[in-house]
Amino acid sequence: MAVATGGCLCGACAYSYEGNPAVRALCHCGPCRKISGGTNTVNVGVPEANFSVTKGQPKSYAMQHQWGFTLSIFFCPECATVMWKTATGAGLQGMKIVQAGTLSDVSQLNEKIDAEFYSPERPSWLAPVNNADQRVQF
Protein backbone atom coordinates (compact mmCIF):
# COMPACT_ATOMS: atom_id res chain seq x y z
CA MET A 1 0.00 0.00 0.00
CA ALA A 2 1.34 3.44 -0.96
CA VAL A 3 2.36 5.83 1.81
CA ALA A 4 2.13 9.61 1.43
CA THR A 5 3.96 12.00 3.74
CA GLY A 6 3.79 15.68 4.48
CA GLY A 7 4.49 18.32 7.05
CA CYS A 8 4.83 21.94 7.98
CA LEU A 9 7.07 24.67 6.63
CA CYS A 10 9.66 24.53 9.43
CA GLY A 11 9.81 20.73 9.70
CA ALA A 12 8.71 20.52 13.34
CA CYS A 13 5.54 18.54 12.50
CA ALA A 14 4.92 15.76 10.01
CA TYR A 15 2.27 13.20 9.11
CA SER A 16 1.74 10.22 6.85
CA TYR A 17 -1.19 8.27 5.45
CA GLU A 18 -1.59 4.98 3.66
CA GLY A 19 -3.66 4.28 0.59
CA ASN A 20 -5.42 6.44 -1.91
CA PRO A 21 -7.42 9.49 -0.83
CA ALA A 22 -11.19 9.12 -0.64
CA VAL A 23 -11.59 12.53 -2.28
CA ARG A 24 -9.57 15.41 -3.69
CA ALA A 25 -11.46 18.67 -3.52
CA LEU A 26 -11.29 22.44 -3.51
CA CYS A 27 -13.28 24.21 -0.80
CA HIS A 28 -14.53 27.76 -1.28
CA CYS A 29 -16.25 28.26 2.10
CA GLY A 30 -15.47 31.33 4.19
CA PRO A 31 -13.36 29.53 6.82
CA CYS A 32 -11.27 27.79 4.15
CA ARG A 33 -10.57 31.13 2.47
CA LYS A 34 -9.28 32.42 5.81
CA ILE A 35 -7.25 29.24 6.41
CA SER A 36 -5.57 29.50 3.00
CA GLY A 37 -5.30 33.26 2.76
CA GLY A 38 -6.63 32.85 -0.78
CA THR A 39 -9.80 31.91 -2.62
CA ASN A 40 -9.97 28.28 -1.47
CA THR A 41 -8.19 25.34 0.08
CA VAL A 42 -6.98 22.31 -1.87
CA ASN A 43 -7.86 19.22 0.14
CA VAL A 44 -7.10 15.52 0.16
CA GLY A 45 -9.57 13.53 2.26
CA VAL A 46 -8.19 10.38 3.89
CA PRO A 47 -9.78 8.04 6.44
CA GLU A 48 -8.58 8.73 10.01
CA ALA A 49 -7.59 5.06 10.39
CA ASN A 50 -4.98 5.51 7.62
CA PHE A 51 -3.51 8.75 9.03
CA SER A 52 -0.67 9.17 11.56
CA VAL A 53 1.20 12.09 13.10
CA THR A 54 4.85 11.11 12.68
CA LYS A 55 6.62 14.13 14.18
CA GLY A 56 5.79 16.91 16.60
CA GLN A 57 2.62 17.82 18.45
CA PRO A 58 0.36 19.96 16.29
CA LYS A 59 -1.95 22.43 17.97
CA SER A 60 -5.61 22.64 17.08
CA TYR A 61 -8.31 25.26 16.88
CA ALA A 62 -12.03 24.43 16.67
CA MET A 63 -14.78 26.71 15.40
CA GLN A 64 -18.42 26.61 14.40
CA HIS A 65 -18.66 26.52 10.62
CA GLN A 66 -21.20 28.75 8.87
CA TRP A 67 -23.29 25.61 8.20
CA GLY A 68 -23.42 24.63 11.90
CA PHE A 69 -20.86 21.85 12.25
CA THR A 70 -17.53 21.99 14.06
CA LEU A 71 -14.43 22.55 11.94
CA SER A 72 -11.05 21.92 13.58
CA ILE A 73 -7.72 22.91 12.08
CA PHE A 74 -4.41 21.33 13.06
CA PHE A 75 -1.28 23.41 12.69
CA CYS A 76 2.39 23.55 13.66
CA PRO A 77 2.92 25.44 16.94
CA GLU A 78 6.21 26.83 15.59
CA CYS A 79 5.46 28.05 12.05
CA ALA A 80 1.62 27.93 12.08
CA THR A 81 1.31 25.87 8.88
CA VAL A 82 -2.19 24.35 8.71
CA MET A 83 -1.61 20.70 7.77
CA TRP A 84 -5.09 19.18 8.05
CA LYS A 85 -8.64 19.75 9.20
CA THR A 86 -11.43 17.63 10.64
CA ALA A 87 -15.14 18.33 10.48
CA THR A 88 -18.25 16.95 12.14
CA GLY A 89 -20.35 17.69 9.05
CA ALA A 90 -22.09 14.90 7.17
CA GLY A 91 -19.74 13.17 4.75
CA LEU A 92 -16.58 14.33 6.52
CA GLN A 93 -16.79 12.51 9.84
CA GLY A 94 -13.92 10.06 10.27
CA MET A 95 -11.79 11.89 7.70
CA LYS A 96 -8.58 13.88 7.91
CA ILE A 97 -8.78 16.70 5.39
CA VAL A 98 -5.12 17.11 4.45
CA GLN A 99 -4.04 20.43 2.97
CA ALA A 100 -2.55 19.32 -0.35
CA GLY A 101 0.19 21.95 -0.34
CA THR A 102 1.73 20.29 2.73
CA LEU A 103 2.33 16.97 0.93
CA SER A 104 5.99 16.07 0.40
CA ASP A 105 5.43 14.67 -3.10
CA VAL A 106 4.32 17.66 -5.15
CA SER A 107 3.40 15.39 -8.07
CA GLN A 108 0.26 14.55 -6.08
CA LEU A 109 -0.93 18.08 -6.86
CA ASN A 110 -1.38 16.87 -10.44
CA GLU A 111 -4.03 14.32 -9.46
CA LYS A 112 -7.59 14.96 -10.63
CA ILE A 113 -9.82 17.14 -8.42
CA ASP A 114 -13.05 15.22 -7.71
CA ALA A 115 -15.20 18.04 -6.36
CA GLU A 116 -15.51 21.69 -5.48
CA PHE A 117 -17.25 22.29 -2.16
CA TYR A 118 -19.28 25.48 -1.62
CA SER A 119 -18.94 26.21 -5.33
CA PRO A 120 -21.53 29.05 -5.22
CA GLU A 121 -18.99 30.93 -3.06
CA ARG A 122 -16.22 30.58 -5.67
CA PRO A 123 -15.15 34.03 -6.96
CA SER A 124 -16.74 34.84 -10.33
CA TRP A 125 -13.32 35.29 -11.96
CA LEU A 126 -12.21 31.76 -10.97
CA ALA A 127 -13.34 29.08 -13.43
CA PRO A 128 -14.83 25.80 -12.19
CA VAL A 129 -12.53 22.78 -12.35
CA ASN A 130 -13.37 20.73 -15.45
CA ASN A 131 -15.26 17.52 -14.69
CA ALA A 132 -15.30 18.17 -10.92
CA ASP A 133 -18.57 17.69 -9.06
CA GLN A 134 -19.86 21.17 -8.15
CA ARG A 135 -21.39 21.01 -4.66
CA VAL A 136 -23.30 23.56 -2.60
CA GLN A 137 -21.85 21.98 0.57
CA PHE A 138 -19.70 18.88 1.20
Domain residue limits, the chain: 3-134
23: closest CA among 6, 41, 5? Answer: 41
Q: Are 113 and 132 in contact (CB under 8 A)?
A: yes
The pTM (predicted TM-score) of the whole model is: 0.93
How many CA atoms are closer than 13 Å to the CA of 57, on its beta-carbon side?
0
How much of the chain, in percent, has pLDDT values that exceed 90? 85
Q: Is 69 helix (H, G, I), strand (E, B) or coil?
A: coil
> Which pLDDT band, with edges at 50, 70 and 90, does 1 fall under?
low
Is the domain spanning 3-134 CATH 1.20.1250.20? The answer is no
Beta strands in 3-128 (DSSP E): 3-7, 14-18, 23-27, 41-47, 51-55, 59-64, 70-75, 82-87, 95-99, 115-117
pLDDT in tens, 41-93: 999 999 999 999 999 999 999 999 888 899 999 999 999 999 999 999 878 88
Q: What is the pLDDT of residues 24-35, one digit of tens each?
A: 999 999 999 999
Q: What is the mean pLDDT of residues 91-120?
A: 93
* Band of pLDDT at residue 3, cut at 50, 70 and 90: very high
